[in-house]
Amino acid sequence: MLSSSSLIWIGALLLGLKASLTRASDFQHHAYEEMVRALFAVQSDCPYITRIYSIGHSIEGRHLYVLEFSDNPGIHEALEPEFKYVGNMHGNEVLGRELLIYLAQFLCEEYRAGNERITHLIHDTRIHILPSMNPDGYEIAASQGPEFNGYLVGRGNSKEVDLNRNFPDLNALMYYYEKHNGQNHHLPLPDNWELQVEPETLAVIKWMQNYNFVLSANLHGGAVVANYPFDRSREPRIRGKTTYSASPDDKIFRKFAKTYSYAHSWMHKGWNCGDYFDEGITNGASWYSLSKGMQDFNYLHTNCFEITLELSCDKFPPASALASEWLANREALVSYMEQVHHGIKGIVYDENHNPISNAVISVAGINHDITSGTDGDYFRLLLPGTYTVTASALGYQSFTSTVTVGPAEAVQLHFYLKVQPKRTNLHVKFYPNKKGASTAKIPPTNLGPR
């Protein structure tokens, strides 16, 4: 029988990748201090393509460190999409945390080795890796060790709050708007929302608001399946019954989920952990309804499309299993990142070639819009096909174009918007008030962006 290290070497050859992390002894669980050292070691080994920054702190004061990969770290380059991976949201679901540490090491090593695929990915994508969103919960779970960890011990943060039930509930608002022709993107947050979430959740929301993420995945454990929006059912809960809750982008979410599932060594086979998921994917609400989750929040409050990856039957697998798990997930992790380069992208300009931020990009037939970033650039993930796309912004005339998307990298489609002509022929009616004077009333105009 082949050893784990032999299997990894063979897998590397089959995938056209160098033999980084080739020994089973390279794989271990990382406590918080060890994780931080590992991230800074990657930054030291690849200083010109990496940056480490903190998005905030856990309740117990641990930094939520992100490792960024880019050919220009710390800088958003126009037309270069932003991608993120988030691990260890549930503290006792640790495989994702380890995989993201290994992924960071792998990207650095492969870049230094001249791997064309990885070099192309890093040069054309700004990649953000948050290995642990819940370092406090991890420490609680790790104190028991893999052999004795309970199913729930360490799942929540240090206050035992489940962070994947802690985001503002925007699904209910979205479902209301669907029935009343309301806004379909960037839904507003409730009053005092910052006081209603945990510090870890707050840090991640602020992170989302500060970076124009396009695509994301959230790594969990306890099952083996790629889960996509919506997580919360549109229908009231009925005991023993689940309902599929499709998002407006259901088709491309299914494609993203299948990309990971089929690139994974066994996820796509369906039978895992005593459950069966056809092709290794599931709609969240079709599995079970979940409120206040991070996946749906990404889609409803930002431009980011996110899926949730359940990666192991054992939430805290032993260190001896990490080598084979890395081999099973490595190609899937890379392939999923590459999906950020599909669809259309471009810049929205005014007549003087100045970029317009917060312009709305609408695709006919898909009731979910996205917006341009501070540099005027936008990224609209789409399946191959022909689409009618409209760009609009407050104070400008909207413009519509037809574009055909292929299976290769994103098609560039720029928009040039003209200033909305001022209305000079308003009819003003005068009505006498109670004191005999005249009061002017101007017919209402549509002041919204659309």
Q: Yes or no: say if 86 and 164 are a contact pair by the CB < 8 Å rule.
A: no
- 429 has pLDDT over 70: no
Residue 192 CA, distance from chain mean position: 24
Q: What's the whole-model pTM score?
A: 0.89
Q: Looking at the predicted structure, is the pLDDT value of residue 236 above 60?
A: yes
CATH of domain 32-341: 3.40.630.10
Element spanning 441, H or E: strand 438-441
Domain with CATH 3.40.630.10 in the chain: 32-341
pLDDT tens profile 338-383:
999 999 999 999 999 999 999 999 999 999 999 999 999 999 999 9
User: How sure is the predictor about 445, in pLDDT bands with cuts at 50, 70 and 90?
Assistant: very low
Separation CA 229–CA 220 (nearest Å): 15
Q: Quick one: how far is CA 356 from the chain centroid?
A: 24
The amino acid present at 301, given as its one-letter code, is: H
Residue pLDDT, tens place only, 173-188 = 999 999 999 999 999 9
Percent of the chain clearing pLDDT 70 (strictly above): 86
DSSP conformation letters of 22-67: -SGGG-----HHHHHHHHHHHHHHSTTTEEEEEEEE-TTS-EEEEE
Cα–Cα distance between 18 and 2 in angstroms, integer? Answer: 19
Instruction: Tell me the pLDDT tens digit for each residue of 278-304.
Output: 999 999 999 999 999 999 999 999 999
Identity (one letter) of the amino acid at 417? Answer: L
Rounded-to-integer distance, Cα 21 and Cα 27, Å = 8
Closest CA to 290 of 245, 253, 357: 245
pLDDT at 444 over 60: no
The answer to whether residues 197 and 130 touch, using CB atoms and an 8 Å cutoff, is no
Structure confidence at residue 25 (pLDDT): 57
**pLDDT tens readout for residues 237-261:** 777 678 999 999 999 999 999 999 9
Give DSSP secondary structure letters for 202-265.
Answer: HHHHHHHHHS-EEEEEEEE-SEEEEEES--S-SSPPBTTB------TTHHHHHHHHHHHHHHSS
Average pLDDT on 99-109 reads: 98
The pLDDT of 318-336, averaged and rounded, is 97
Q: How confident is the model at residue 1 (pLDDT cuts 50, 70, 90)?
A: very low
Residues of the chain with CATH 2.60.40.1120: 344-419
Please report the pLDDT score of residue 7 as a whole number.
Answer: 42
Per-residue pLDDT tens over the stretch 15-64: 444 445 545 557 999 999 999 999 999 999 999 999 999 999 999 999 99
pLDDT for 241: 76
- Burial class from Cβ neighbours inside 10 Å (0-12, 13-18, 19+) for residue 260 reads buried
Mean pLDDT of 325-332: 98
Catalytic center residues? 310
Helices 322-338, 250-263: axis angle to 10 degrees equals 140
Highest mean pLDDT among 8-12, 414-418, 421-425: 414-418
Model pLDDT for residues 131-153, shown as the tens digit of each residue:
999 999 999 999 987 766 667 89
The confidence band for 435, taking pLDDT boundaries of 50, 70 and 90, is very low
Of 162, 53, 50, 58, residue with least CA distance to 107: 50
CB environment 209-224: b (16+ within 10 A), e (fewer): eebbbbbbbbbbbbbb
Question: In the prediction, which pLDDT does 426 show?
Answer: 46
Whether CATH 2.60.40.1120 fits 344-419: yes
User: Using CA of residue 103, residue 108, residue 112, residue 115, what is the dihedral sign?
Assistant: positive
Confidence at residue 240, expressed as pLDDT on a 0 to 100 scale: 67
The helix (H) or strand (E) run that includes residue 349 is strand 344-350
440 pLDDT higher than 60? no
**C-alpha 43: how far from chain center:** 23
Of residues 214 and 13, which shows the higher confidence score? 214
Q: Are 138 and 32 in contact (CB under 8 A)?
A: yes
- Running DSSP on this structure, what letter comes out for residue 381? -
At residue 8 the predicted structure's pLDDT band, cuts being 50, 70 and 90, is very low
Model confidence over 66-98: pLDDT tens digits? 999 999 999 999 999 999 999 999 999 999 999
E strand map for 58-164:
63-69, 82-87, 126-130
